Amino acid sequence: MYQTATNTSAPLPAALTFDVDWAPDWAIDDVTTLLRKHATPATFMVTHQSPVLEDLRRDKDLELGIHPNFLQNSDHGDTYAEVLDACLELVPDASSVRTHCLYNSSILMQFIGREYPQIEIDSSVYLPDNANIFPASIEIGRSGRKITCLPFAFADAGFANRPDFSWSEDIGPFQGIEIYTFHPMNLALNMNEPTRFSALKEHLGERRLWTTTREEAARFRADGDGAWTYLESLLKSKRISAFATLTGLLEQWRSRKEDQSLESK
Ligand SMILES: [Zn+2]
3-state secondary structure labels for all residues of 195-237:
HHHHHHHHHHCCCCHHHCCHHHHHHHCCCCCCHHHHHHHHHHC
Lowest mean pLDDT among 85-94, 137-146, 223-232: 137-146
Q: Is residue 66 part of a domain?
A: yes
CB of 193 within 8 A of CB of 223? no
Query: What CATH number does residue 233 fall under?
Result: 3.20.20.370
Average pLDDT of every residue of the chain: 94
* Averaged pLDDT for residues 94-108: 97
Average pLDDT estimate for 12-21:
97
Percent of the chain whose pLDDT exceeds 70 = 95
CA dist., res. 209 & res. 197, Å (int): 10
Instruction: Look at residue 61 and tell me if it is in a domain.
Output: yes
* Dist. CA 101 → ligand 1 center (Å): 5
- For residue 259, the model assigns a pLDDT of 79
Report yes or no on 138 lying in a domain: yes
Whether residue 194 lies inside any domain: the answer is: yes
Cα 68 to middle of ligand 1, angstroms: 8
Interval between CA 39 and ligand 1 midpoint (Å): 25
Edge-first strand order for the sheet with 62-66 is 136-139, 146-149, 121-122, 96-97, 62-66, 42-46, 14-19, 178-182, 154-155
Residue 258 falls within a domain, yes or no? yes
Say how many Å lie between the CA of residue 29 and the centre of ligand 1: 18
Domain count, the chain: 1
Structural domain includes residue 6 = no
For residue 222, being part of any structural domain is answered with yes
Dihedral sign (CA 192, 48, 39, 255) = positive
How far, CA to CA in Å, does 195 sit from each of 182, 186, 189, 199, 220?
A: 17, 11, 11, 6, 9
Per-residue DSSP letter, 13: P
Please tell me the predicted confidence (pLDDT) of residue 263: 60
Distance from Cα 214 to the centre of ligand 1, integer Å? 20
Give distance in angstroms: CA of 100 to centre of ligand 1: 4
Find the 194 Cα to ligand 1 centroid distance in Å.
15
Q: How much distance in Å is there from the Cα of 264 to the middle of ligand 1? A: 41
pLDDT score recorded for residue 154: 98
pLDDT for the residue 245: 98
- pLDDT(47) > 80: yes
What pLDDT, on the 0 to 100 scale, is given for residue 7? 47
Taking the centre of ligand 1 as the mean of its atom positions, its distance from the CA of residue 7, in whole angstroms, is 35
Task: Name which of 2-16, 79-93, 229-243 the model is least confident about.
Answer: 2-16
CA of 8 to the centre of ligand 1 (A): 34
HSE (side-chain half, CA atoms, 13 Å) at 65: 25
Q: How far is the CA of 99 from the centre of ligand 1 (A)?
A: 7
Distance 20 CA to ligand 1 centre (A): 7
Residue 3 has pLDDT above 50, yes or no: no
Confidence grade of residue 264 (pLDDT, cut at 50, 70, 90)? low
Residue 180 vs residues 39, 119, 230: alpha-carbon distances, Å: 17, 20, 11
Domain assignment present for residue 204? The answer is yes
pLDDT tens figures, 104-125:
999 999 999 999 999 999 999 9
Query: How many angstroms does the Cα of residue 202 sit away from the middle of ligand 1?
Result: 18
3-state secondary structure of 168: coil
Range of the domain at 40: 14-263
pTM: predicted TM-score of the whole model, two decimal places: 0.94
Residue pLDDT, tens place only, 130-168: 999 999 999 987 778 999 999 999 999 999 999 999 999
Rounded to whole angstroms, the Cα distance separating 117 from 66 reads: 14
